[in-house]
Amino acid sequence: MDKNIAIKLTKLSELQETDTHLNDIAKLRGTLPDEVYALEAHIETLSATIQERTALLTELREEVVHKKAFIKQAEKKCQQYEVQQMEVRNNREYDAITKELELHKLDIQLAEKFLRTAYGSIEQEEVHVEGLCKLLASKKADLILKKEELQIILQASEAEERRLHEKRKETRTMLGEPLYLAYERIRKNVPNNLAVVPIKKGACGGCCIVIPPQQKIGVYERNKIVLCEHCGRMLIALEQPIDALLFVS
């Protein structure tokens, strides 16, 4: 038995156990962190939409005020032209004033048409914005509840999680960077995130494929780190080396 390899195998097993505990803590939170993130993103989108719609409403209202003022001025001009019509001296002047009068009346009609459309748009936008504001208030209330729920869970596991992260940091240092990176690479590439598994009843504890006798002996001897030929996980032995060697022989 290579004592250095045996120590590293023990540390790999401890690291896997630590990561499993950290995963269990993460599972306690469930989908809450994702739900909080999604709510925050939704609230941000709603707020931006409300700002855009409110700006549009302000613009429409300002345009309404402008058109009303324009109509008043145009009506005043029409009155002046109507007075002038009565005072013209020839047909040429009369036709010119009549044309100006018709143009101003057309401008008034167009402005009034715009106002009718604008009033309808303003009413629709007000209803829309009101609905969005109610939805925003509801989502903000949901976010407060979700954050409170998540905070309770975080506080309950905070000390344990801190301890596990400290232990993980120490174990990583003892393993060395190359071996730790190999562990992380395997852990990310397997479905259950188990990079280090024991031999159980002669099979890999990860994929449950039977381990060949010669490879099994290599695991029990602890002179090197042995990977499962099928799934690539690091194999460790839970049994005593002597008992295990008798078993495989």
Segment 149-161, tens digit of pLDDT: 999 988 888 889 9
CATH of the domain at 209: 1.10.287.1490
Instruction: Let me know whether 210 and 126 are in one domain.
Output: no
Instruction: Let me know whether 40 and 161 are in one domain.
Output: yes
- Of the pLDDT bands very low, low, confident and very high (cuts 50, 70, 90), residue 85 is confident
Instruction: Let me know whether 169 and 200 are in one domain.
Output: no
Per-residue HEC secondary structure of the chain comes to CCHHHHHHHHHHHHHHHHHHHHHHHHHHHCCHHHHHHHHHHHHHHHHHHHHHHHHHHHHHHHHHHHHHHHHHHHHHHHHHHHHHHCCCCCHHHHHHHHHHHHHHHHHHHHHHHHHHHHHHHHHHHHHHHHHHHHHHHHHHHHHHHHHHHHHHHHHHHHHHHHHHHHHHHHHHHHHCHHHHHHHHHHHHHCCCCCCEEEEECCEECCCCCECCHHHHHHHHHCCCCEECCCCCCEEECCCCHHHHHHHHC
Instruction: Let me know whether 189 and 239 are in one domain.
Output: yes
Residue 26 has pLDDT above 90, yes or no: no
Q: What percent of the chain has pLDDT over 90?
A: 72
> In the predicted model, what is the mean pLDDT of the chain?
91
Give the range of the structural domain holding residue 14, as residue numbers without chain letter. Answer: 3-19+176-248
- Of the pLDDT bands very low, low, confident and very high (cuts 50, 70, 90), residue 16 is very high
Lowest mean pLDDT across 93-97, 105-109, 140-144, 243-247: 243-247
User: What is residue 247's predicted lDDT score, i.e. its pLDDT?
Assistant: 42
- Of the pLDDT bands very low, low, confident and very high (cuts 50, 70, 90), residue 1 is low
User: What is residue 154's predicted lDDT score, i.e. its pLDDT?
Assistant: 86
Instruction: Let me know whether 71 and 150 are in one domain.
Output: yes
Instruction: Let me know whether 55 and 144 are in one domain.
Output: yes
- Of the pLDDT bands very low, low, confident and very high (cuts 50, 70, 90), residue 174 is very high
Instruction: Let me know whether 82 and 181 are in one domain.
Output: no
Whether the CB-CB separation of 190 and 213 falls below 8 Å is answered with: no
The number of distinct structural domains making up the chain is: 2
Residue 248 has pLDDT above 50, yes or no: no
Residue 94 has pLDDT above 70, yes or no: yes
* CA atoms of 64 and 147, how far apart (whole Å): 44
Query: Which among 156, 175, 194 is the end of a domain?
Result: 175
Q: Which residue has the higher pLDDT, 26 or 178?
A: 178
Instruction: Let me know whether 55 and 158 are in one domain.
Output: yes
User: What is residue 52's predicted lDDT score, i.e. its pLDDT?
Assistant: 96
Q: Is residue 144 part of a domain?
A: yes
Instruction: Let me know whether 168 and 202 are in one domain.
Output: no
Residue 92 has pLDDT above 60, yes or no: yes
Instruction: Let me know whether 184 and 170 are in one domain.
Output: no
Instruction: Let me know whether 168 and 237 are in one domain.
Output: no
